A and B are shown apart, each in its own frame.
Chain A
Amino acid sequence: MARSLILVALISLLPFLSASSPSLESPKGRRVLVLLDDLAIKSSHSLYFGSLQSRGYDLDFKLADDPKIGLQRYGQYLYDGLILFCPATERFGGSLDQAAILDFVDSGHDLIIAADANASDLIREVATECGVDFDEDPVAMVIDHIGYAVSDTEGDHTLIAADDFIDCSVILGNKKIEAPVLFQGIGHSLNPSNHLVLKVLAASPSAYSANPKSKLSNPPSLTGSAISLVSVMQARNNARVLITGSLSIFSNRLFRSSVQKAGSSTRHEKAGNEQFLTEISKWIFHERGHLKAVNVKHNKVGEADEPAIYRINDDLEYSIEIYEWSGGSWEPYVSDDVQVQFYMMSPYVLKTLSTDKKGVYSTSFKVPDVYGVFQFKVEYQRLGYSSLSLSKQIPVRPFRHNEYERFIPAAYPYYGAAFSMMAGFFLFTFVHLYNK
């Protein structure tokens, strides 16, 4: 009995939880599968892996063609995140394939993809499925003859010092990234109509994507700031994907390297890579920018219980609690732009909710003079935050037969007419009958 009660309670809570995937309740000890082309990467990129492990992630390193790879067993996912540092892999081992990776994302898990020059079709196709198109030329790299990183040897300017970050503290953290990020790899482009992907690190306007070793015969297909170096995708189910065309951006070498952007006099002791990638991996693994909405409540003004149906012109109160995951606990989310719609095919009421800074957002309004099946809708989509999309159906009925006004002043002439008619008829009958 107690167990079934708990079950019922859980089921009734499900609508509130659906915005946040359940694993987010305990991000500690999250299991991440890292697939590598070569186990040497484990040591050459150890700084990055170390930062993840220090934040409590349980990394499971496997070779990409390991025949024992499997993302799920008995229908349960074994991992909560996947890092693909295997740009050259044409085929995964085990049961893993492109469809399995996409299903992994579609069931709400996070993914980091690092491609590189000569990235395999498999990696490219996974990226395309996530809305990112790598340059089709397999040997092309991003070249920037103005924004390159100054190094000892005058190279081919494929090592770029990029500092065109997205202006979003939710994704990149509150601390400004001072040093440019060193990037060496292939560029990709995003479809402007695709609102799910974001360009986190864009190339400078002088960059282009071409084969650095050959002479440029025809104009490059990707040029300028249309080239994205690092992109993130937040799927509709709030799964987050990081895609970059460079594996070396994660490497210890670039983490430690000092950087001076060409044309700039300041030389930073340390490239921005570590800060940039650490912050962005916090976002990818939902340590930041993840909202949940709970305790959606509505009631008539002056009552506490939630009614099954409203009447037109009722005054009602609506409240919702929104919290943000801060990496360790759910903190109240504070903002002044959360709106609720009272919606039936179009919003009849659109109100901005006021917050008490403790996570509770509330408002009150009058039900419109229209009956029908309405919805309380909260559609909250802000850059970097997971999207909140809640709707709760509530019917609105017209007046009952005894809820109308009984005596209307405008009708008094009619009442008068009716009663005077009755009196007149009575008098007439009386006179007619007894006047003989």
Chain B
Amino acid sequence: MAASEASTATSFRHAFGGVLSFFILILIGVLAFSIRLFSVIKYESVIHEFDPYFNYRVTQFLTKNGIYDFWNWFDDRTWYPLGRVIGGTVYPGLTLTAGTLWWILNSLNIPLSVETVCVFTAPIFSAFASWATYLLTKEVKGAGAGLTAAVLLAMVPSYISRSVAGSYDNEAVAIFALIFTFFLYIKTLNTGSLFYATLNALSYFYMVCSWGGYTFIINLIPMHALLCIVTGRYSSRLYIAYAPLVVLGTLLAALVPVVGFNAVMTSEHFASFLVFIIIHVVALVYYIKGILSPKMFKVAVTLVLSAGLIVCFAVVAILVALVASSPTKGWSGRSLSLLDPTYASKYIPIIASVSEHQPPTWPSYFMDINVLAFLVPAGIIACFLPLSDASSFVVLYIVTSVYFSGVMVRLMLVLAPAACIMSGIALSEAFDTLTRSIKFQLPGNSGGNSEANAGDASSASAGALNDVIKADKAEETAKERPSRKSKKKEREPVEKPQRNPRNERKLLVLPFEASIVGIILLVMLGAFYVVHCVWAAAEAYSAPSIVLTSHSHDGLHVFDDFREAYAWLSHNTEVDDKVASWWDYGYQTTAMANRTVIVDNNTWNNTHIATVGTAMSSPEKAAWEIFNSLDVKYVLVVFGGLVGYPSDDINKFLWMVRIGGGVFPHIKEPDYLRDGQYRIDSQATSTMLNCLMYKLSYYRFVETDGKAFDRVRRTEIGKKNFKLTHFEEVFTTHHWMVRIYKLKPPKNRLRGKAKKSKSKTSSASSSKRSGKRTRNPWQ
């Protein structure tokens, strides 16, 4: 009777806990969604930055033309004249997701525009991602840790920076897919269910559709499987979790056009196949061991080993020969620069030139994951108490992602979920211990009762039965190795009593005051994190980068120059005109101005980009010839010298020189540097002062303040008064941030030998556009 009462109380408590967690999760979703709306509130509902504009354009095409046309889309408005096969070179996951959302909403008679759907895709998926984090952490350490991790992830600044409303990029859905795939892998590992294994493969397929970062999954999971095998944790659950993923996952991945045969051909996927072979060998060994007597087994082992080694050597030799025949050892450039952080800067300037491919600085860790950086070590320790298959996985996840984030600042995004999971585990364990200590010492609570409470409290957070089984199994595997068993026993006093009712050891109890102080400190830490996250979301990561604002003593200034320039292009140029600019602005030009561009942010053709870089680094006439051969009509440059916008073309110019010089050796970087220094003042080299980029950026700049002071470089420019012979300025935006030039047509007449004074020539040509030129002070 008492027992049944207690069980109904427990089940009631469970039900209550379940409902509470459900509402907490809903609130977490709302939090994750709403904290990302600062950009819409502070600015407007627009697509941000560069790549999102391409994704937006692709989504528009998808919603207009349907999936088959999208799949076969050959885009002739970019990479002129090569064109780009969009369907075969794009990760379609994001586009298909947003397209499906739009289609569902429209068929429900909710007439949202495609743009609106695109803007809000990322916040929606960040809510999904926090729920997936909950599920994953719950599998590892129980529901309490799951909820904590979900809250942390909902507002981790690193993830916010990539998923604010309007940031319509692959990462927006890919992080969700990544976490969800990991969850399903852990779930399969814990349950050994083939159903979850299949789901896992499907989720992996979604991830492959969404982001090139899927290679992280297909390397991390084999690493974990290998770790389990090596540490003697092989089980049929591991086999079910791993083998179907590789087979189904690879088949499905090969269906994505952009991956195709890469799924079996490139070195990124090699690890999964190697581990696939190993796991089968191990499975076979276990099977044979089960059916043979120990003596027979020994004989069989020697036989198989000797034969197997020969075969292995042969296979390895062939593989090594195959891989070594490729110059990059079968790796793609981006992967190689991950393995060897100096690779890109040495060989592929186009990868190294992207700011998000640079290694992060220490402050950026604090900025992006804040207090989590300090909680992670505690979480790792908690994962070792005890080490299960699942917790070893998250440990592996955090270790690898810390390394990757140290190579590329962009991959901080992969670290963020791992850090959240670890910190969630750490915080949850800490709260567990502290609250239990308090409860234990509260007056009026008998020890036994509080122990039961503590057990309940922890089991409410730990997914009850599952974990018990898991812990048992962990113990069983541990028993097989006597050396590990002793270590295990040392830990048991700390960990086991909560989980295992059979072990009635004393719980770790802290002094009452220390617990109170600890809780207060932890809450303050959490509060600090929340404050920081809200600040980061509101101030640091919400700027859409096509509209800029600046605060000064006389109020808020809005710089809407980019859209002004693109609108000018779309209204004042012919539909088939080609616009040349550095590749950063390619996506925006095609999406916003609807004009053909030469190069864009999909940097697939290095030679083409180098051609544009060479043109920008050449003197005017050579540049004109290059552009003319590409049928370019307009050249667009971004110039920040007037308002102090630092990421303008002059600051990017050295990369243009490097990338151009990489293909066309007559462009030499030292020609643009004075004593190794990049400068545009009077000390600059004549090559620098005569190159097209300098001229297009600083043409007529002296008219603004009379002495041509560049606010970004904080210096007066070197050459102030000059004229353009092959280009003419057609548009400069309000704050001079975008300047558009038109290529002059070839001369209608060719002059005879120019022996007369030049003044007559200029007067002859100036009459055609006297309106603009008369303002020039030097005329």
Contact = CB atoms under 8 A, between A and B. Distances in A.
**Chain B associates with chain A:** yes
B83 A372 contact: yes
B752 A131 contact: yes
B747 A128 contact: no
B764 interface: yes
A103 B769 CA distance: 12
Interface residues of A, number: 41
A98 B76 contact: no
B749 A401 contact: no
B76 A309 contact: yes
B619 interface: no
Query: Which among B71, B81, B755 has the highest number of chain A CB atoms within 10 Å?
Result: B81
Contact of A128 (B68, B629, B756): B756
Nearest to B78: A373
A38 interface: no
B749 A374 contact: no
Given A98-B760, A125-B760, A374-B81, A395 B750 contact: no
Interface string B502-546: 000000000000000000000000000000000000000000000
A215 interface: no
A309 B72 contact: no
A345 B68 CA distance: 30
B72 A401 contact: yes
Interface in B58-108: 68, 71-72, 74, 76, 80-83, 85
A21 interface: no
A18 to B, nearest CB: 13
B746 interface: yes
B752 A128 contact: yes
Interface string A111-137: 000000000000001011111110010
A260 B112 CA distance: 91
Contact residues of B: prevailing secondary structure: loop
A400 B65 CA distance: 15
Contact of A106 (B68, B85, B576, B748): B748
**Would you call the interface of chain A mostly helix, strand, loop, or mixed?**
mixed
A79 interface: no
Contacts of B596: 373
Given A128-B756, A235-B749, A236-B746, A103 B81 contact: no
B80 A373 contact: yes
A102 B74 contact: no
B76 A129 contact: no
A24 to B, nearest CB: 17
Given A102-B764, A103-B768, A398 B85 contact: yes
Given A99-B763, A102-B764, A105-B749, A373 B71 contact: no
B764 A133 contact: no
Contacts of A393: 576
Given A129-B764, A373-B83, A395-B83, A400 B72 contact: yes
Interface string A195-218: 111000000000000000000000
A235 B745 CA distance: 13
A397 interface: yes
A345 B76 contact: no
Contacts of A100: 767
B346 interface: no
Interface string B236-272: 0000000000000000000000000000000000000
A237 B74 contact: no
Interface string A19-62: 00000000000000000000000000000000000000000000
A233 interface: yes
B749 A128 contact: no
A426 B755 CA distance: 92
A236 B748 contact: yes
Contacts of B750: 131, 191, 194-197
A397 B760 CA distance: 50
Contacts of A99: 763-764, 767
A371 interface: yes
Given A136-B755, A309-B74, A400-B72, A196 B749 contact: yes
A398 B753 contact: no
A233 B76 contact: no
Contact of A191 (B83, B752, B764, B768): B752
B257 to A, nearest CB: 8
B751 interface: yes
A262 interface: no
A69 interface: no
A333 B730 CA distance: 40
B748 A371 contact: no
B748 A131 contact: no
Nearest to A107: B748
A375 B76 CA distance: 12
Given A136-B755, A372-B82, A397-B85, 11 more contacts: A99-B763, A102-B764, A106-B749, A128-B751, A130-B752, A131-B751, A191-B752, A196-B750, A344-B81, A344-B82, A397-B83
24 contacts: A98-B764, A103-B767, A127-B752, A128-B752, A128-B754, A128-B756, A129-B764, A130-B752, A131-B749, A131-B751, A132-B752, A133-B752, A191-B752, A235-B749, A309-B76, A372-B82, A373-B81, A373-B82, A393-B576, A395-B76, A397-B72, A398-B74, A398-B85, A401-B68
9 A-B pairs closest in CB distance:
A395-B76, A397-B74, A133-B752, A373-B81, A128-B752, A400-B72, A194-B750, A99-B764, A99-B767
